[in-house]
Amino acid sequence: MDPNSKRREGYRNKSTALNLHRNHAIAADSSSYKPGNMFARFIGLVALVAVCLGVAWAAHMYFTIHSAIDGKGGGPIANSAKIVNKQPISVLVLGVDQGIEGRHDRGNSDTLILATANPQKNTATMTSIPRDTLTDIKGDPGNKYFMFRVNSAYEIGGSAASVKTVKSMLNVPIDYYVEVNMKALRSLVNAVGGVDVNVPFDFSYDWCDFHKGKQHLNGRHAVAYVRMRKEDPRGDYGRQLRQRQVITAIAHKAMSVNTISNYRKLVDIFNKYVKTNLSFNDMLSLALNYRGCMDNLKSGYIQGHDAWIDGAAIQVASTEELQKTSNKLRRNLGLETQTLNNEETRQNELNEQNNDIKWDDPAAFTNYRIYDQNENKAVTDSNSGYGENSNSSSSSSSSSSSSSTWKFHW
């Protein structure tokens, strides 16, 4: 017999004796293929794929939003120290009216809301500032407006001037701003699936009907809901209440899991219509570490007194009202209260002394006057330091009691 044949025969016998079979090392025993085990493996595989896809989708979402927000500022922005350390913060929300009712200029800030959040106390405040409130406009290089409507600050110097103006009026530090083009409201409400509000009374506006009680609003109805003013018995104060309702509802919906699938819409709207000095990481930290503040939210507004100045309707806030608002905001920010000492309080004091202004008189003021910055030296000297405009020259500095000939620029 051929020696090679003998060797091959011996190898086959040896393999049989050792019970070795091809692929035995990597193949499972046929007895292990039970229906239950196969189903479990299938479910495990599906779960693994789902987790991988979920992680990939979440990562894509994260970097898409990150790019959309931080990219607007020309590059990544580091987390703010206050937010990293979970300190109290304040944010000025500006709803600008560019693009509304055919406007294409910069426009005014149709809505001003100063919000504060304290994560240590888990408390938040949301204070509306009536757009017609008389205040010392900051950031005006030509000093054209001086005492004017607060919403005009945006027209003069954008969000920076608005921040400076509100900060000076209430003696409250403002850390961040969020500027929202009101044209985005309709798209924003639709992107979160609509919002639920408690309508205070029946009314119709812009072909939309509203009924007292809880009502679900889509984007078109939400815009009409926050813009109506004349039919509200509380006038602009009622409108501010409705604005705060919608903003609060959007904030709650935007942080809910149900709207994650619409993140692309939110990113597009944000990228097109929102400007802010908050970075993406700041917003993420706020959503994670400050959300408890929304459970203890106190909203309110600055109550003004009707006045006619140079034939224009104005809201004048008393020193007492401004002080009360300042105290509330400073307390929620963990700051000691301070006595207000600014141009607004000086104007009030001059009018109380010289024009017999009575804040408890319900009738609109017709005798409230705007005094130049250096008028009535006796009062000015005893309350020195009235902000950026206090050193401006004035031809009427020798006058001690007469009202200014300054006129509103409408």
pLDDT, tens digit, 9 for 90 and up, residues 112-138: 999 999 999 999 999 999 989 999 999
Q: In this model, does residue 233 exceed pLDDT 90? A: no
Report the SS3 class of residue 200.
coil
Residue 258 gets which letter from DSSP?
G
Report the SS3 class of residue 190.
helix
Q: What's the pLDDT score for residue 24?
A: 42
Percentage of the chain lying above the pLDDT 90 cut: 38
CA pair distance 124, 295, nearest whole angstrom:
8
Q: What's the pLDDT score for residue 186?
A: 85
182 lies in some domain: yes
Point out the least confidently predicted range of 23-37, 164-178, 196-210, 222-236.
23-37
Start-to-end C-alpha separation, the chain:
120
Q: Using an 8 Å Cβ cutoff, are 83 and 284 in contact?
A: no
Q: What's the pLDDT score for residue 403?
A: 40
Number of neighbours of residue 226 by Cβ within 10 angstroms: 26
Q: Which residue has the higher pLDDT, 232 or 145?
A: 232
Question: What's the burial of 147, exposed, middle or buried (CB within 10 Å: 0-12/13-18/19+)?
Answer: buried
Q: What are phi and psi of 77, to 5 degrees?
A: -120, 130
CATH number at residue 261: 3.40.630.190
Q: What are phi and psi of 84, to 5 degrees?
A: -60, -40
257 lies in some domain: yes
Residue 135 gets which letter from DSSP?
E
Residue 365 gets which letter from DSSP?
B
Q: What are phi and psi of 47, to 5 degrees?
A: -60, -40
Point out the least confidently predicted range of 14-23, 133-142, 261-270.
14-23
pTM of the model: 0.70
323 lies in some domain: yes
Number of domains within the chain:
1
Q: Using an 8 Å Cβ cutoff, are 319 and 349 in contact?
A: yes
| Residue carrying structure tokens 């205070």 | 200
Q: What is the mean pLDDT of the chain?
A: 77
Q: In this model, does residue 292 exceed pLDDT 70? A: yes
| Residue carrying structure tokens 């700041």 | 282
Q: How confident is the model at residue 307 (pLDDT cuts 50, 70, 90)?
A: very high
214 lies in some domain: yes
Point out the least confidently predicted range of 5-9, 297-301, 391-395.
391-395
Structure confidence by residue, pLDDT tens digits, 341-369: 999 999 999 999 999 999 999 999 999 99
pLDDT winner (highest mean) among 73-77, 158-162, 333-337, 377-381: 333-337
Q: In this model, does residue 308 exceed pLDDT 70? A: yes
Domain that holds residue 216: 81-311+319-335
Q: In this model, does residue 58 exceed pLDDT 60? A: no
pLDDT winner (highest mean) among 38-52, 75-89, 209-223: 209-223
Q: What's the pLDDT score for residue 251?
A: 76
Q: Using an 8 Å Cβ cutoff, are 406 and 309 in contact?
A: no
CA pair distance 124, 329, nearest whole angstrom:
9
Point out the least confidently predicted range of 82-86, 98-102, 306-310.
98-102
Tell me the average pLDDT across 370-398: 48
286 lies in some domain: yes
CA pair distance 119, 88, nearest whole angstrom:
6
Q: What are phi and psi of 312, to 5 degrees?
A: -110, 145
Structure confidence by residue, pLDDT tens digits, 144-173: 678 999 998 998 889 999 999 999 999 999
Q: What's the pLDDT score for residue 382?
A: 41
Tell me the average pLDDT across 399-406: 38
Q: Using an 8 Å Cβ cutoff, are 128 and 240 in contact?
A: yes
Q: Using an 8 Å Cβ cutoff, are 119 and 113 in contact?
A: no
Structure confidence by residue, pLDDT tens digits, 67-96: 566 655 544 455 588 998 999 999 999 988
Report the SS3 class of residue 68.
helix
Q: Which residue has the higher pLDDT, 63 or 389?
A: 63
CA pair distance 298, 190, nearest whole angstrom:
26
Q: Among candidates 175, 171, 185, 131, which has minimal Cα distance to 153?
A: 131
Beta bridge partners of 214: 198
Strand stretches in 317-395, DSSP E: none
**Left if phi > 0, otherwise alpha if psi is -120 to 50, otherwise beta: which for 311?**
left
Point out the least confidently predicted range of 103-107, 249-253, 316-320.
103-107
Report the SS3 class of residue 87.
coil
Give per-residue burial for 337-359: e unless 16+ CB within 10 Å, then b: eeebebbbbbbbbbbeebbebee
Specify the DSSP element, H or E, that contains 371: none
Q: What's the pLDDT score for residue 95?
A: 85
